[in-house]
Amino acid sequence: MKILFIGDIFGNPGRKAAKEMVQKLKKERQIDFCIANGENAAGGSGITYVVAQELYKYGIDAITLGNHTWSKKEIMNFIDSDSNIVRPANYPVELPGRGSTVICGENGKVGILNLMGRIYMDSIDCPFKAAESELEYLKNNCKVIIVDMHAEATSEKCALAWYLDGRVSCVLGTHTHVQTADERILPFGTAFISDVGMTGPYDGIIGVNREIVIQKFLTHMPVRFEVATGRVQFNAVYLEIDEKTGKTTGIERIYEILEV
C-alpha cells in the first residue's frame, strides 16, 4: 500500500500547492491514500467546511487536525458528520468529533489516529493512554494505522513512536512547520519522522508574513498574523506499507519549492 501524508497545509498558498502536487504524485507514485494535516488550512488557523471540501476535491482522502482544531467556530457544525476528519483523540471525550477513523479504498482500509502533545502545549489528556484506547477499535478493523502526533517537543513524538513500535504503521510528527531529516523505520516496523513539515509559504516565518513576526520579536507587542506571500513549499512523506502485516517497508521525505 502506498500512502502520501502531507504536512500542515497553511492557508490559501498551502491549498494551491496541494492542488498542484496531489494529483501529480498520485499518478507518478500510484498513491492509494492521501492524508493531510489541515488544521491551518483556512487562513492559517483552523478549517472550514468549504476548505475541507476543497481539499477533498484535490484528492485528499482524510484530514487530521491539532491545536487549532476549534479556531473556526463553524467546525462545530460539521465535524461530527464528516467521518474523514479526525481531531486529537486526547481532547476531552465531551467534545465533538472523533480521534480516529477508518477510510476505505479500492486497495484496502487505513486507520487514522490523531494525537496532540502536552509539552509546551495545552494541558489535555495523555496522548499515550488515548492511543491505547483508540487502538482497541482500530486494530479490530484494519492492519494499516497512520498516527499524526501533533506536538512541539521532538522527545514526546519520538517517545510515542517507540511506545507504539510494532503496533501502528507509522508515527508522523506535525505542528512545527519545519521538516526534519530523521525519517526511519523502527525495529518492529513502525516508521517515524519528527515532523513532516509544512505545505504553505516558503518566504514567510513558518507560514506567517515575516515582517509581522520580526516586529513581534522586536517589540513584544500583540500583532495580527497574516499568511505570507511569495514562493510556496510542499512538504510530505511517501510511505510504502505491507497491507497484510501493517508494517512500513519504506519512508521518503518530499520537499519541493513551487511558484504558484
Provide the Cα torsion 110, 47, 114, 181; round to 10°: 90
Cite the active site residues. 68
C-alpha 133: how far from its chain's center?
Answer: 20
In contact, 12 and 41? CB cutoff 8 Å: no
CA of residue 95 relative to chain centroid, distance: 20
Cα separation, 52 vs 77, whole angstroms: 13
DSSP symbols for 39-60: TBTTTTS---HHHHHHHHHTT-
Which sign does the torsion angle of CA 201, 31, 56, 20 carry? positive
